[in-house]
C-alpha cells in the first residue's frame, strides 16, 4: 500500500497539474469512442498499449478476456457492454487477448482447477474457443492458437448481446479482435481489418 500511496502523491504533484485542463473537461463529459475488453492480467494495460488519454477508452477487464454470451439475467459485464454501446454510443469494440495468458494456459494444458471452482466455472465461457483449437497442437503453440481462437470466439459471443447486435445491424459499430504480445509489444489484428493489421511497437 505504501507504493500505491506514493504513486497517488506523485500523480497529484506531477501528473495532474500537467493535465488539469483535460481533467476539468472530463469532470462534466464522458464520451469514449471505444470499448476495450481485455484480460485482467496486470501486464496488459489498455491505455498504455493504445496510448490513449483518460476518457477515451471504456474498459472491461475479465480473466481470459472472456465475454459471456447474452443471458436473460443481468450481470456486470452485460450491463457495462450495454451502457457503452446503447448509452455512450461507442463506435468500436476491441476484444484483446495476449501472449502467456494464464486462463488460456490452464485450458490448453488441462490444468486441475478443483481448488479454484469459480475459475473453472468462469472458463467455460471459452468452450467455443477450445472447440476451434486443433488437438494436434501442443505446448506453447497450443496456448498461442487458443489465445487467437478465444478472441474470435469472444467476438461471436459479444455479438449475441442485443445492444451490440442492433448497433452492428445499423452499421454504427465495428468489432475488432487483437492479440498483444507482451515480450515484443506487437499487436496483431486477428480480424484482419486493414487499418490496424500488424500494429507493432516502435
Q: Name the CA radius of gyration of the chain, rounded.
A: 18
The answer to whether 200 and 186 are in contact (CB under 8 A) is yes
Residue 149 is among the residues annotated as catalytic for this protein: no
Q: 9 to each of 13, 47, 54, 75, 150, how far by Cα in Å?
A: 6, 21, 18, 35, 39
Residue 39 is among the residues annotated as catalytic for this protein: yes
Active-site position among 96, 98, 142, 189: 98
Question: At residue 159, what are phi and psi to the nearest 5 degrees?
Answer: -70, -10
Residue 98 is among the residues annotated as catalytic for this protein: yes
Q: How far is 186 from 98, CA to CA, in rounded Å?
A: 10
Active-site position among 101, 142, 148, 149: 101
Active-site position among 10, 30, 43, 166: 43
The burial of 196, by beta-carbon neighbours within 10 Å (0-12 exposed, 13-18 middle, 19 or more buried), is given as middle
Residue 189 is among the residues annotated as catalytic for this protein: no
Residue 96 is among the residues annotated as catalytic for this protein: no
The answer to whether 92 and 84 are in contact (CB under 8 A) is no
Catalytic residues: 39, 41, 43, 98, 101
Amino acid at each position: 500500500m505504501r507504493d500505491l500511496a506514493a504513486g497517488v502523491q506523485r500523480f497529484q504533484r506531477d501528473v495532474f497539474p500537467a493535465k488539469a485542463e483535460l481533467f476539468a473537461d472530463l469532470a462534466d463529459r464522458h464520451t469514449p469512442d471505444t470499448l476495450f475488453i481485455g484480460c485482467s492480467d496486470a501486464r496488459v494495460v489498455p491505455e498504455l498499449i493504445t496510448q490513449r488519454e483518460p476518457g477515451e477508452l471504456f474498459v472491461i477487464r475479465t480473466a481470459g478476456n472472456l465475454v459471456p454470451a447474452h443471458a436473460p439475467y443481468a450481470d456486470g459485464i452485460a450491463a457495462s457492454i450495454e451502457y457503452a454501446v446503447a448509452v455512450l454510443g461507442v463506435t468500436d469494440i476491441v476484444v484483446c487477448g495476449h501472449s502467456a495468458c494464464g486462463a488460456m494456459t490452464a485450458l490448453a494444458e488441462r490444468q486441475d482447477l478443483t481448488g479454484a471452482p469459480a475459475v473453472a466455472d468462469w472458463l467455460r465461457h471459452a468452450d467455443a474457443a477450445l472447440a476451434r483449437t486443433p488437438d494436434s497442437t501442443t505446448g506453447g503453440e497450443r496456448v498461442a492458437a487458443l489465445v487467437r481462437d478465444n478472441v474470435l470466439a469472444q467476438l461471436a459471443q459479444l455479438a449475441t448481446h442485443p445492444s451490440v447486435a442492433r448497433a452492428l445491424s445499423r452499421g454504427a459499430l465495428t468489432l475488432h479482435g487483437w492479440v498483444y504480445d507482451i515480450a515484443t509489444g506487437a499487436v496483431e489484428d486477428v480480424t484482419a481489418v486493414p487499418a490496424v493489421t500488424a500494429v507493432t511497437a516502435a
